[in-house]
């Protein structure tokens, strides 16, 4: 009987110690930090939101989601749309080749050169006593000069058209990037105004 009583006392003592350890562990456990948003619409548009009135994370997520939708409806802007990118080297080359192929080309310069050359050659030939030979030689020379001038003019026209096409591509990209940046700024301001009205600071 005495042995049984001793066993009971030991068991009571063990339970008491375990209970004290549990209480001590609970008291010693560090306080958990308040939950933060794992994801929020504000992060998608590059702004920081801070509650001014002690709103919890669930309430903040709800407010952000509603303000995100309101800003999108008010501005008609999709902030997730990718920013425009500059044309690749292949795209620039394709635009330049197309513009060069469609560039205006001079025609008839060789014929005009032949006529001018023939007239000049005939005059020189007349002085030398052979107007016919002079005209023929002048026509050949004029044709060659006219054809050369025509080729040079056409090549210059192609080069100018190609350069303008590439410049136009770059200008269009710059304007698109500026419009995208302005749209995102407008969206951020609309979102910030909505969140401010709900008691948040937006930076």
Q: How far apart are CA 175 and CA 6, in angstroms?
A: 91
Position 156 scores a pLDDT of: 82
Average pLDDT over residues 155-162: 84
End-to-end CA distance of the chain: 76
Position 66 scores a pLDDT of: 96
Q: Indicate whether 93 pLDDT > 50.
A: yes
Q: What is the pLDDT of residues 35-80, one digit of tens each?
A: 455 678 999 899 999 999 999 999 999 999 999 999 999 999 999 8
Scanning the structure block, which residue is given the tokens 């008491």? Answer: 16
Phi-psi region of 164 (alpha: psi -120 to 50; beta: other; left: phi over 0): alpha
Q: Indicate whether 5 pLDDT > 50.
A: no
Q: DSSP states of 58-70 as a string?
A: HHHHHHHHHHHHH
Question: Is 51 in a helix, a strand, or coil?
Answer: strand
Q: What is the pLDDT of residues 167-186, one digit of tens each?
A: 998 899 999 999 999 999 99
Q: How far apart are CA 157 and CA 151, in angstroms?
A: 10
Joined together, the tokens standing for residue 25 give 């562990």
Highest mean pLDDT of the ranges 29-33, 163-167, 187-191: 187-191
User: Average pLDDT over the chain, rounded to whole?
Assistant: 74
pTM > 0.85: yes or no: no
Q: How far apart are CA 13 and CA 7, in angstroms?
A: 10
């Amino acid at each position: 009987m005495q042995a049984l009583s001793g066993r009971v006392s030991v068991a009571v003592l063990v339970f008491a110690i375990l209970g004290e350890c549990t209480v001590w562990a609970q008291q010693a456990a560090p306080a958990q930090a308040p939950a933060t948003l794992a994801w929020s619409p504000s992060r998608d548009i590059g702004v920081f939101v801070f509650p001014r009135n002690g709103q919890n994370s669930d309430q903040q997520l709800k407010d952000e989601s509603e303000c995100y939708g309101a800003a999108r409806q008010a501005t008609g802007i999709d902030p997730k749309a990718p920013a425009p990118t500059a044309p690749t080297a292949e795209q620039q080359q394709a635009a330049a080749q197309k513009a060069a192929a469609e560039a205006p080309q001079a025609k008839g310069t060789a014929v005009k050169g032949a006529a001018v050359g023939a007239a000049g050659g005939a005059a020189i030939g007349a002085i030398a006593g052979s107007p016919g030979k002079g005209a023929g030689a002048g026509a050949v020379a004029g044709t060659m000069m006219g054809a050369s001038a025509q080729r040079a003019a056409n090549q210059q026209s192609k080069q100018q058209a190609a350069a303008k096409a590439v410049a136009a591509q770059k200008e269009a990209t710059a304007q698109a990037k500026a419009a995208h940046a302005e749209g995102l700024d407008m969206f951020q301001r609309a979102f910030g105004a909505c969140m401010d009205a709900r008691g948040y600071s937006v930076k």
